[in-house]
Chains A and B, each alone.
Chain A
């Protein structure tokens, strides 16, 4: 039952990524060129609603459907990893035109060359794990 719920949430997410055009390489290019409001509107709406959702959950101690408290794991309060890692991520996001969620969506939509991007992303993740202790965080 829980497995079905994860799958259904994923399906809603996949449909949203495709129909919002957030999975389109062209939209990502246009966003980084500041040529349209579309992507900013999407992220802005999601964040404004997200802030409200998280605030309400914390304020009223909302429990999960299964009765557990909803916890938010704080990120480490350090700086370099977010800026450097984020920068490298941004290079790839602009080049491939897809971040991790849309990669899966595009594979399902039938754009098979995205499998090369996913392969690259897995290799990149592995390389990070390999050299993690040598990198500034």
Chain B
């Protein structure tokens, strides 16, 4: 049973994601996680002033349950299925991240510099996390979907708009990492 506590290889992981999409289709739903963020806004009453959030959010409860499951799954995986959370990324990447100040590269699941307990008293880290989330939320709704809705569901259905969105994802990610990271963390 040692394999269970190891990270899953890419082919197992990819197959599991496709299986999740298949199961959602078979229960009459679809795979798209960022739609939940819109539902949160609707539950919070954003529909009172903004028409975009005026919809029957109760019809989206199924997706909230998927999100709740993702939270529970994260708890189970981290606490019961993982012996060592360190992510074995490319040693060259580790060396490069250290020059950017990410000392925890290669020894943790997430960088301490952004997700460690110390960030609550680190205004710069908190602002970066908030901004990162803001771009994700804004961009996902603007593009009409995120990684699950476009990169997996959309590409699986051979929809070219989803290919455009994925090209956008990578263009944005590369600009952030190649051009902005040296300015932010350098």
Contacts and interface: CB of A to CB of B under 8 A. Distances in A.
A12 to B, nearest CB: 6
B57 interface: no
A9 B13 contact: no
Interface string A70-89: 10111111110111111111
Nearest to A120: B133
Interface in A98-131: 98-101, 103-111, 113-114, 116-130
Given A10-B70, A10-B73, A89-B135, A15 B18 contact: no
Contacts of B25: 53, 57, 64, 70
A99 B170 CA distance: 13
B1 interface: no
B171 interface: yes
Contact of B137 (A24, A43, A78, A128): A128
Given A19-B77, A108-B78, A9 B24 contact: yes
A5 to B, nearest CB: 5
Looking at B11, B15, B89, the one whose CB has the most chain A CB atoms below 10 A away is: B89
Interface in B79-109: 79, 81-82, 87, 89-90, 92-93, 96-97, 105-106, 108-109
Given A100-B34, A104-B67, A19 B27 contact: no
Q: Is the interface of A mostly helix, strand, loop or mixed?
A: helix
A29 B146 CA distance: 17
A46 B147 CA distance: 12
A104 B70 contact: yes
Contact of B70 (A29, A48, A85, A101): A101
A124 B136 contact: yes
A25 B111 CA distance: 7
Interface in B8-60: 8, 10-30, 33-34, 36-38, 40-41, 44, 46, 50, 52-53
A40 B23 CA distance: 23
Contact of A82 (B15, B63, B165): B165
20 contacts: A6-B66, A7-B72, A9-B24, A13-B66, A15-B76, A20-B7, A20-B10, A26-B105, A27-B89, A46-B17, A77-B161, A82-B161, A85-B142, A85-B168, A89-B135, A100-B140, A104-B71, A124-B37, A129-B53, A129-B141
